[in-house]
């Protein structure tokens, strides 16, 4: 399986959850490294800084090996480490599910929203299925990356000028 396959899975997870963006971060010791970034603004990525296992949305999902929700990044005290990313971008909410290989969390899959948001149970369950597909895809692969894969976001809608 190729990186473009992973990027496609991340993009589809985003689209079916009606999210603004999505990400796949892989575990590298005590840090999560961006692997696939779909439609997330650069200022968000820069602003969240290093995502440590146990912090922010993705790090908590990995540490606890269960889904984690941040309904409002600007007010959630457990998102304090990443607040600069939200304050400097349009991203305001996210939910993350761990990507598990057996009982070990190897990555996180997150959907990001441009306003305060609480995902439905179906959204979370669907992303858990995507996370299982991602785990199968990552099995046996070296996850060392020099830089993340930036998957392009949706193309802007064509400008339609009504007839005069």
Domain parsing of the chain, residue ranges: 3-141
Helix (H, G, I), strand (E, B) or coil at 124: helix
- Residue by residue, DSSP assigns 50-83 as -EETTSHHHHHHHHHTS-EEES-TTT-GGGGGGH
Indicate the CATH number for domain 3-141: 3.30.450.40
Q: Is the pLDDT of residue 157 over 60?
A: no
63-103: per-residue pLDDT in tens? 999 999 999 999 999 888 888 888 989 999 999 999 999 99
How would residue 42 be classed by pLDDT, with cut points 50, 70 and 90?
confident
Q: Is 130 exposed, middle or buried (0-12, 13-18, 19+ CB in 10 A)?
A: buried
pTM of the model: 0.85
Which residue in this structure is represented by tokens 């984690």? Answer: 68
Q: Is the pLDDT of residue 60 over 70?
A: yes
């Amino acid at each position: 399986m190729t990186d473009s396959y992973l990027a496609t899975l991340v993009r589809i997870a985003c689209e079916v959850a009606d999210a603004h963006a999505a990400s796949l971060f892989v575990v590298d010791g005590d840090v999560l490294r961006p692997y696939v970034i779909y439609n997330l603004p650069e200022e968000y990525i820069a602003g969240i800084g290093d995502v440590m296992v146990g912090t922010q949305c993705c790090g908590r999902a990995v540490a606890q090996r269960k889904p984690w929700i941040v309904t409002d990044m600007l007010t959630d005290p457990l998102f304090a480490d990443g607040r600069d990313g939200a304050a400097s971008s349009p991203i305001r909410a996210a939910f993350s599910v761990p990507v598990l290989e057996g009982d070990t969390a190897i990555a996180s899959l997150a959907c990001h929203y441009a306003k305060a948001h609480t995902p439905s149970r179906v959204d979370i369950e669907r992303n858990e299925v995507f996370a299982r597909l991602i785990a199968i895809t990552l099995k046996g692969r070296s996850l060392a990356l020099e830089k993340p894969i930036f998957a392009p976001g949706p193309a802007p809608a064509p400008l339609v000028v009504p007839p005069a």
